[in-house]
A and B are shown apart, each in its own frame.
Chain A
Amino acid sequence: MTLGVRGKLFGLSLLLIVMAGVASGLFVEKEVRAVMEARIEGELFRFAKLSAESIAAASEDVPLQHLVEQLAAAGEMRLTIIGDSGEVLADSLMTAEQRAQADNHMSRREVLAAFESGHGRARRWSTTVGTEMLYAGVRFEGGGALRVARVAMTLDETNAFVWRFHALLIVAAGLGLLVAIFMSGVASHLTSRTVNRLVEHAKALARGDVQQIEVETKDEFGRLAKTFNQIAETLQRTARKKAKEKDRFAGVLEGMSDAVIALSAKGRIKVVNRRALELLGLEPSCVGQSLLEATRIPALHQLAQRDSGGETQLEFELASGRRVLASATPLHMSAGTVIVLRDVTEMRHLETIRKDFVANVSHELRTPVSVIRANAETLLGGALEHETKGPQFVQAILRSSERLSTLIADLLDLSRIEAGKYHLEIQSVEVDEAIRHAVEAISSTAQSRRVSHDLSRSAQLHVMADPMALEQVLLNILDNAVKYTKDGGQVQVRAMEHRSGVRFEVEDDGPGIPPQHRMRIFERFYRLDPGRSRELGGTGLGLSIVKHLVESMGGTVGVEPASPHGSVFWFVLPRDPEAQLRLSA
């Protein structure tokens, strides 16, 4: 059973009233009885003494019984005269027969005490009268013998008084009860209003509605309200701190270059950063989905499912072509997993370039060196004397050493261009003339392939370039195109305006370059088909030099597939803005 504040207050005041009533009732009754009995006792003794004196003084003629009856009637008391052997000599309430039959009164305490010390008193249930009586005995000399005059009085009066007192007490208690009900009502109303206010405030706090409460009093409720305010303040501080922490966490997470996905224990996505959304092509609504639902990447699913204690890693390629290194770290407290994806596409690409470069450069250098060595050994072995074979071996040595020196010259050029030490004299160059020059130069080596130019869209165009470098770029590209085109193939050079520059295009109808090679073809020593291209000569650095020269002249370079097959190598160089003005002037 639960009692409200009102019920408890009422119960408490009721208990207080009852306890006070009972305690005071008992105490007062005892006091009143004592006082009244003392007074009655005094009266009894006085009357006993008076009776004793009257009887002692009375003449012998008057019958004792008569005298006793008269005295008792006057004093409104019971009077008994007892002889020294305990016999009842006279009693105001007893007849002669009763007196004769009455038991020895020496056994009565008040009588015995009176015979011994002159006074005696007792309080006892009287069998004769059938009520509680107070007795007092006084010894006196009468008729030559010691006697005791005993008076008795009922306590009815005292009892009645006490009962009246009790009735008064009950009435007072009733009144007190009414007052208690009223007072407890008022008190509990006041209290519960304050408490309810505090409860409402606490509820608001629980909802997160943080606000200060007015402190009205300095009592416990006031202190409670103050405490609530402190709690509200602490809550606000904690909330602010949390918000700051969350903000910081979000900042770190969003600023990361790695993709982060946090999974719950049930494998649901809890947190995902922007990089993860980009890398995996996810929508922010993926939060709450399982990893499989959101990404459907078997490798990633496998990684998240792997149930090992520590961190596990897996590298795989995404549909977008990006290579990612994914690692899963289990969270101990929430039993979830954090998956971090690092985009290693560039890193792996650079690794491959470096590895290929080392392998290729050593191959390119070793081949001519071993040819020179083998031929030299053969010559020393006796071929030197041979009329026809001898010069052939020397020829081979010469060819290989030329190849080596070209290779070294190219490598040196390349490193100079890269280091920015290659001296370029940027000036206005007429596009048509540069193209014509290059085509003429290549035509002698083109054999059956037809190298043509289409200058219909490049009339009067000028670019800002180093003329030697531009010619080298065109020759390198043309040389490649001619080499990879079959007999009877076509190579066409053209140029056109392209935004603020001029776009040069060299199109061939060769076998074309599949997409996976297009990005890498400008790398040093990169070859599409190593066997075939070495057989065609060349150092494997031609396109690399093209790329670096074009870029150091502020241009861009690339390759596209041609239709129906073949390739279009293109580069764009900045146009000479003043050429037009000079022409019109």
Chain B
Amino acid sequence: MVLPPQRDARRSLDAQLEELRERLLLMSGRAEAMITVSVRALVEKNAQLAQETIATDAEINRAEMEVDELCLAILASQVTELAPLRFVSLALKMVTDLERIGDLAVNICERVIDIRGAPHLRPADDIVALGELVRILVHDAFDAFVSGDVEKAQDVIERDDEVDEQYQRVFRDLLSIMQADPAMIEPGIHLQSAAKWLERIGDHATNIAEQVIFMVEGHDVRHLGKLPD
């Protein structure tokens, strides 16, 4: 990345922050799509779809590196204001969460090959619901980020409990299936791992929501004039 010249520093800082924001939003969109598609690949046992999804993770990883570089470029341009610094530090954390979400989706895709021959277990349908729940959580966390809506972010954090409940249900159902029929242990374990990863994605959504609250409440403090403008 080429550092911008010092002249026009203010304008280029704004442009850089805007670009950073745009890249984060694009990444979030890709991450959301990966959640849906990885669950679909798993439930439909679609190895080709799984392969394609694994390939899109490379895009997320590249995006992560670009965002990191952009953050460093902004930090290196001697920004002294608090708001952009807070935003950059937030972006650095969010990008890690997004990258982890991509990795977890890849993990789910990798299980597709392992369960190819197994019958369609009933909890797989619940995993689809869990995947949708988690995707919406990520979506809402970014809605909160876009609109700076603390209430919405708070709601995301609270709704993580729903994800945990749904995960527990899937876990219990799989456990009883595995206990009843040892032949179901292998596919059961794979599905259980997928559910666990989805539950983790939910935790990353929660992280993002927490960072949004930090970002917004930081703003409020600034508006009260307690910090230099």
Contact = CB atoms under 8 A, between A and B. Distances in A.
Interface of A: 285, 289-290, 292-298, 301, 319, 510-516, 561-566
24 contacts: A289-B146, A292-B22, A295-B29, A296-B26, A296-B142, A298-B26, A301-B29, A319-B32, A510-B119, A511-B119, A514-B120, A515-B125, A516-B40, A561-B122, A562-B122, A563-B122, A563-B177, A564-B121, A564-B177, A565-B119, A565-B120, A565-B121, A565-B177, A566-B119
Interface in B121-153: 121-125, 128, 135, 139, 142, 146-147
B180 to A, nearest CB: 7
Contacts of B121: 512, 564-565
Q: Which 9 A-B pairs have the closest CB atoms?
A: A512-B120, A511-B119, A296-B29, A564-B177, A563-B122, A565-B119, A293-B146, A298-B29, A292-B25
Contacts of B33: 298, 319
Given A292-B22, A293-B146, A511-B119, A564 B181 contact: yes
B136 to A, nearest CB: 8
Contacts of A301: 26, 29
Given A561-B120, A564-B177, A564-B180, A296 B128 contact: no
Given A319-B135, A564-B121, A564-B122, A292 B26 contact: yes
B43 interface: yes
A518 B125 CA distance: 12
B161 interface: no
Contacts of B29: 292, 295-298, 301
A526 B29 CA distance: 34
A285 B146 CA distance: 12
A564 B180 CA distance: 9
Nearest to B174: A564
Given A319-B33, A319-B36, A515-B128, A296 B139 contact: yes
B12 to A, nearest CB: 18
B28 interface: yes
A246 B177 CA distance: 61
A562 B124 CA distance: 11
B196 interface: no
B120 A563 contact: no
Interface in B37-90: 40, 43-45
Contacts of B32: 296, 319
B122 A298 contact: no
Contacts of B123: 564
A290 B19 CA distance: 13
B38 to A, nearest CB: 13
B219 interface: no
Interface residues of B, number: 32
B50 to A, nearest CB: 14
B147 to A, nearest CB: 8
Contacts of A511: 119-120
A296 B120 contact: no
A296 B44 contact: no
B127 to A, nearest CB: 10
B36 A565 contact: no
Given A514-B44, A563-B173, A296 B122 contact: no
A452 to B, nearest CB: 19
Nearest to B135: A319
Given A298-B33, A564-B184, A293 B43 contact: no
Nearest to B28: A296
Nearest to A283: B143
Contacts of B22: 290, 292
Contact of B25 (A293, A512, A515, A562): A293
Contacts of B124: 514, 561
Contacts of B159: none
Contacts of A513: 120
A298 B30 contact: yes
Contacts of A292: 22, 25-26, 29
A565 B45 CA distance: 15
B186 to A, nearest CB: 13
B91 to A, nearest CB: 15
Residue among B40, B45, B135, B176 with the most chain A CB within 10 A? Answer: B40
Given A292-B22, A296-B32, A564-B180, 19 more contacts: A289-B146, A292-B25, A292-B29, A293-B146, A297-B29, A319-B139, A510-B119, A512-B122, A513-B120, A514-B44, A514-B124, A515-B43, A561-B124, A561-B125, A564-B123, A564-B177, A565-B119, A565-B121, A566-B119
B44 A516 contact: yes
A510 B40 CA distance: 21
Nearest to A302: B26
Contacts of B45: 514
Nearest to A316: B33
Contacts of B146: 289, 293-294
Contacts of B44: 514-516
Contacts of B147: 285, 289
Contacts of A565: 119-122, 177, 184
A511 B125 CA distance: 14
Contacts of B25: 292-293, 296
